Copies of this chain bind each other. A is one copy, B any other.
Amino acid sequence: MTERKPRKDAARNRQAVLAAADDLFSRCESPEGVTLASIAAAAGVGKGTLFRSFGDRTGLLRALYEARLEPVRKAVESGPAPLGPATPPRQRVLALLDTLLCFKLDNRPLMLALEESGSGSPYQADHYERWHGLLDTMLGQIPGLTDSDFTAHALLAAVRADLVEHLAGHACVPRERMRAQLANFTAGVLGADPVRGLANES
């Protein structure tokens, strides 16, 4: 194997940086303000260390994202209904989008930073590919629905971080209302009748 065990202090510093960044992001608005130097300072390490651990800004953001996303990923990959793999497609799509929305609501500054930094567009990040692929597959299993690929993109676009931020931050749309609107919209896209209880489908 190519694994070289990292030195103890290295591991500790990595954790410190992660923690500091996490903290700064949840504390401050406007991810612009969270500079790499400030993260390094908050973590009590030098900039060099930070870059060695994460490559660049995007790398750090991604690492943070992965860390926070872990439980969600688990739930989707092998959890119980309505998120887990044993759920019928319609409900699972609803559940997935709802989960994504909530996640972005709960991690606004980070998600904002991640999407806008991504050295270009968020569409190049492979975590996007993952969500898109999953959604695509699920949509493909819904009879009567065409263009699952594009539809997946469009649905994901409806929960983009900056839109969420705009609605939650500027328009002050409350969380539950947003969730309801998204569910309603999604149900419309999936065809059929707008779901009311979001859990009665064959």
Per the bound structure, the CA–CA distance linking A167 and B121 in Å amounts to 12
Select the residue from A170, A178, A185 with max chain B CB neighbours within 10 A. A185
Per the bound structure, the CA–CA distance linking A120 and B170 in Å amounts to 13
Q: Which of A138-152 contact B (CB under 8 A)?
A: 146-147, 150-151
Per the bound structure, the CA–CA distance linking A124 and B116 in Å amounts to 15
Instruction: Report B-chain residues with C-beta under 8 Å of the C-beta of A194.
Output: 146
Per assembly, the copies of the chain total: 2
Asked whether, in the complex, the Cβ of B160 is within 8 Å of the Cβ of A123, the reply is no
A interface residues, tally (CB under 8 Å): 31
Per the bound structure, the CA–CA distance linking A55 and B181 in Å amounts to 38
User: Is A69 part of the binding interface, using a Cβ–Cβ cutoff of 8 Å?
Assistant: no
Instruction: Report B-chain residues with C-beta under 8 Å of the C-beta of A163.
Output: 123, 153, 157
> What is the predominant secondary structure among interface residues of chain A facing chain B?
helix
Per-position 1/0 for A165-202, Cβ under 8 A of B: 11100100000001001101100110100100000000
User: Which of B30, B157, B162, B191 is A188 in contact with, Cβ under 8 Å?
Assistant: B191
Instruction: Report B-chain residues with C-beta under 8 Å of the C-beta of A124.
Output: 166, 170
User: Is A64 part of the binding interface, using a Cβ–Cβ cutoff of 8 Å?
Assistant: no
Asked whether, in the complex, the Cβ of B116 is within 8 Å of the Cβ of A170, the reply is no
Please provide the 9 A-B residue pairs with the shortest distance between their CB atoms, ordered closest to farther: A123-B166, A157-B157, A150-B181, A121-B162, A154-B158, A147-B181, A154-B185, A157-B158, A188-B189
Chain A residues at the B interface, C-beta cutoff of 8 Å? 30, 116, 120-124, 146-147, 150-151, 153-154, 157-158, 160, 162-163, 165-167, 170, 178, 181-182, 184-185, 188-189, 191, 194
